[in-house]
């Protein structure tokens, strides 16, 4: 059975690559072609070297090559494997980190449409190469790219979970039964819906579920944080992180109170702490000092390690990811990996016309 993972998987790579190819095609095709006079070597022959890896199952170069040949009539295409001395040296010398790599010689400068396509190219030494994102290139040959394929992808004699590159891959995480993690942005409407759904879910499962809330944000490294909905969201993340520390058994009561009017969290948070019998001054001191920032760092650590950026996202048993907003969807995914629990037999609310993520 294929295990779901947050790490980019083959099907996802193919979709992303297709989008990139469509972008590249739109960027290139339809341009008027005028052959250049040549600028490199004795013949001035326009060449493109394609470097891929024998270990990459998603490195299909066919479409990009076809597009390039239509754009540059008579171009010479050369193919190299990254595993060859020449291929590795070329890619390493140019600082290209992701494959497939598409590298032009400087004769491309003499093409009449060079100025039109230059935005999709990067110049390095005596070459131009297509920017990896524009070409749908996502394979890093220096890392274990697949963590459950039984192959040594990067040639370091370490396979799958034995390779430290897979440390944050879901396939290699320890399974922890009865655990449910939720990753949200505190002012994302879908995230608040997921928060609210947990009231019914926690009531159904009780002690048969270990629930933990995490946030999605970036630590800027200068004492500030960046989050999709701005500083007001960062502030509420910090307040909730403080509440989690001092009221670990009842913090969701505060979250549910805030979510009733979350866009006004700065105005209502004090009344929410009082309504759920929490020490407002203790939370304020934590929020305004360095303690709150440090607590938020802890609450975004796992989401950043796993590359989670969509709110809400869920993780069951420390390994299995899913998405959803309503209690029944949460129950179904949790019970899939934790069968036989009393909460699995209870009838919970279903979706009521809506789904989404921030």
What's 29's domain CATH number? Answer: 3.40.30
pLDDT of residue 148: 67
Q: What is the mean pLDDT of the chain?
A: 85
Q: Is 105 left (phi over 0), alpha (psi -120 to 50) or beta?
A: beta
In a domain, 206, yes or no: yes
Dump pLDDT digits (tens) for 117-136. 888 899 998 999 999 888 88
Return all residues near 12 (Cβ < 8 A) that are at least 6 apart: none
In a domain, 63, yes or no: yes
Q: Which long-range contacts (CB under 8 A, 24 or more apart) does 9-18 make?
A: 10/57, 10/58, 10/146, 13/58, 13/136, 13/138, 13/139, 14/58, 16/136, 16/138, 17/58, 17/60, 17/136, 17/137, 17/138, 18/136
Q: Name the residue range of residue 96's domain.
A: 10-135
Highest mean predicted confidence (pLDDT) among 145-149, 152-156, 157-161 = 157-161
117 vs 334 pLDDT, higher one: 334
Q: pLDDT confidence of 111, banded at 50, 70, 90? A: confident
In a domain, 42, yes or no: yes
Q: pLDDT confidence of 25, banded at 50, 70, 90? A: very low
Mean pLDDT of 263-285: 97
Looking at the structure, do residues 207 and 306 belong to the same domain, yes or no?
yes
Return all residues near 266 (Cβ < 8 A) that are at least 6 apart: 232, 235, 236
> Residue 103 and residue 135: Cα distance in Å, rounded?
11
CB 58 within 8 A of CB 99: no
Mean pLDDT of 22-38: 41
Q: pLDDT confidence of 183, banded at 50, 70, 90? A: very high
245 vs 25 pLDDT, higher one: 245
Kindly report the CATH number assigned to the domain that includes residue 268: 3.40.30.10
pTM above 0.85, yes or no: no
Looking at the structure, do residues 201 and 316 belong to the same domain, yes or no?
yes
Is residue 36 scored above 60 in pLDDT?
no
Please state, for a pLDDT cut of 90, what percent of the chain lies above it.
Answer: 62
């Amino acid at each position: 059975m294929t295990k779901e993972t947050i790490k980019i998987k083959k099907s996802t790579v193919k979709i992303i690559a297709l989008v990139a190819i469509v972008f590249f095609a739109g960027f290139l095709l339809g341009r008027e072609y005028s052959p250049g006079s040549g600028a490199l070597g004795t013949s001035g022959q326009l060449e493109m070297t394609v470097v891929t890896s024998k270990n990459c199952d998603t490195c299909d170069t066919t479409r990009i090559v076809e597009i390039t040949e239509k754009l540059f009539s008579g171009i010479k295409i050369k193919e190299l494997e990254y595993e060859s001395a020449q291929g590795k040296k070329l890619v390493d010398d140019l600082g290209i980190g992701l494959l497939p790599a598409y590298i032009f010689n400087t004769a491309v400068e003499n093409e009449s449409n060079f100025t039109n396509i230059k935005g999709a190219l990067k110049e390095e030494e005596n070459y131009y190469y297509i920017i990896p994102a524009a070409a749908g290139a996502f394979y890093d040959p220096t890392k274990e790219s697949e963590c459950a394929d039984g192959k040594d992808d990067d040639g370091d004699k370490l396979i799958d979970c034995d390779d430290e590159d897979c440390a944050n891959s879901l396939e290699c995480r320890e399974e922890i039964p009865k655990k449910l993690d939720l990753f949200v942005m505190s002012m994302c409407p879908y995230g608040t819906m997921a928060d609210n759904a947990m009231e019914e879910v926690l009531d159904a499962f009780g002690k048969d579920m270990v629930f933990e809330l995490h946030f999605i944000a970036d630590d800027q490294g200068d004492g500030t944080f960046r989050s999709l909905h701005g500083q007001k969201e960062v502030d509420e993340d910090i307040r909730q992180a403080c509440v989690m520390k001092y009221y670990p058994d009842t913090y969701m009561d505060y979250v549910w109170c805030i979510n009733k009017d979350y866009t006004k969290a700065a105005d209502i948070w004090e009344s929410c702490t009082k309504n759920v019998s929490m020490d407002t001054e203790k939370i304020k001191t934590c929020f305004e000092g360095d303690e709150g920032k440090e607590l938020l760092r802890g609450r975004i650590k796992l989401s950043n390690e796993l590359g989670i950026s969509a709110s809400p996202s869920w993780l069951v048993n420390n390994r299995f990811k899913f998405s959803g907003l309503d209690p029944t969807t949460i129950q179904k995914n949790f019970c899939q990996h934790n069968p036989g629990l009393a909460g699995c037999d209870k009838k919970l609310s279903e979706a009521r016309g809506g789904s989404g993520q921030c």
